[in-house]
Chains A and B, each alone.
Chain A
């Protein structure tokens, strides 16, 4: 039996690289969403606004307590039944972004809690407006020690984006599955896909480990 078909492997490369490129794009857009939404959620929870903060607590529990796959299915196959249907790609990007926003919110929280109370008090003594205190004083100091954790989340998200293949998105995993199904040959597409994922995630994790050493002993 022929184990590895080189010609086949070469012939599917263009399609796989196209999927790979889409995976990278999805990752960055989703990550931007989770960073922004996560920060908003973290701040609102920190402010302990009656009702609203509780809702955001629930949001975090709900998102963290259900599998990404289930969330993707609900968004893509169930919401349209209620008249809220969107294309697969934007749906997938938002689901992934929302999913990670809950984890990012927790990381931001730990970063915010590490900012010494003296920083808040100095801001107040200078009468800095709340928005200025948050975005000029607190957030920059909160972010510094959490950059490595966020970096790891970026890598996890990059790999988790494979789940979006289940809602018909032809990113790297979706493309590999399609090729495998069409030709009944899974070895080549899956091996190449795995190597492509690794080609990004492995060097990235080394980079993050170096960042960690530089950033965590803040100031």
Chain B
């Protein structure tokens, strides 16, 4: 087995979590007249790898951002691992409770623009939250970080700062940084969209690795259709705030039921 087996193993859950890891029930989100999510009902099973596809502006990022508590729903119930993240009744405003903050810790996110801390070294980026949020000792956090950086192939760049790295390297550090918190749910928001084409593969390899060898629940927003088809258990086609259709990748990509899905797939992949 590869030397990374151990660190990959630590990402797995000690005990099987509840059957449904992520649930959106009746979630609305609008900015002014722009109704981005309309009564969204959406569930992801524990350990499931789900790709979200759909036209730009359809609300894919908004779904991830609500899960990361970077946005609040206007109405609706969102749970992670059976715990309430958001519970907003009609006419109320979303409130961030202790429960929200505790539940958020189960979620990690990888951003399109990496968002590494540019004034800190790669290693400092990865150990920051384990030390100051999880309360790990510096030694333990560093050990964990080194293993993760090795997993993403950047151990030798530990002492560099993000601006010294390529986009692909930065994104791999961002993945390691998120994993260091041992999240149960990993969100990837178009993780390769900001990358030069020749750097996309190295990031997808890391994500593939996580998808095939860990039991984390993964939600991936992507335009890399071939990759989505390869690693997903399920693909969700999203448009105008609602799920158009969802199903196994082969079904969605080879024989979509809905016209909108067919048109979208033709547009992104005209062969």
Contacts and interface: CB of A to CB of B under 8 A. Distances in A.
A129 interface: yes
B115 A121 contact: yes
Contacts of A136: 128, 132
Please indicate which of the listed interface residues A116, A118, A125, A136 has the most CB atoms of chain B within 10 Å of its own CB.
A125
A126 B119 contact: no
B37 interface: no
B68 A124 contact: yes
B118 A126 contact: no
B17 to A, nearest CB: 19
Contacts of A124: 68-70
Given A124-B69, A128-B133, A132-B132, A140 B119 contact: yes
Interface string B109-128: 10101011111000000001
Nearest to A118: B115
A68 to B, nearest CB: 34
Q: Is the interface of A mostly helix, strand, loop or mixed?
A: helix
Interface in B168-197: 177-178, 181
B22 to A, nearest CB: 16
Q: For chain B, which range describes its interface: under 10, 10 to 19, 20 to 34, or 35 or more residues? A: 20 to 34
B135 to A, nearest CB: 11
Given A116-B115, A125-B107, 10 more contacts: A121-B115, A124-B69, A125-B109, A126-B128, A126-B133, A127-B133, A127-B181, A136-B128, A141-B117, A219-B163
B229 to A, nearest CB: 27
A137 interface: yes
For the complex of A and B, 10 pairs with smallest distance between CB atoms: A126-B129, A122-B115, A118-B115, A125-B109, A219-B118, A127-B133, A219-B163, A140-B119, A132-B132, A125-B68
Nearest to B116: A122
B21 to A, nearest CB: 18
Nearest to B124: A136
B101 interface: yes
Interface residues of A, number: 18
Given A127-B181, A128-B128, A122 B119 contact: no
A103 to B, nearest CB: 25
Interface in A19-46: none
A219 B119 CA distance: 8
A9 to B, nearest CB: 50
Contacts of A128: 128-129, 132-133
B240 interface: no
Contact of B117 (A122, A125, A127, A129): A122
26 contacts: A116-B115, A118-B113, A118-B115, A119-B117, A121-B111, A121-B115, A122-B116, A124-B68, A125-B70, A125-B109, A125-B111, A125-B178, A126-B129, A126-B133, A127-B105, A127-B133, A127-B181, A128-B128, A128-B132, A128-B133, A129-B132, A136-B132, A141-B117, A141-B119, A219-B119, A219-B163
Contacts of A140: 119
Contacts of B119: 140-141, 144, 219
B108 interface: yes
Given A124-B68, A126-B177, A127-B129, A119 B115 contact: yes
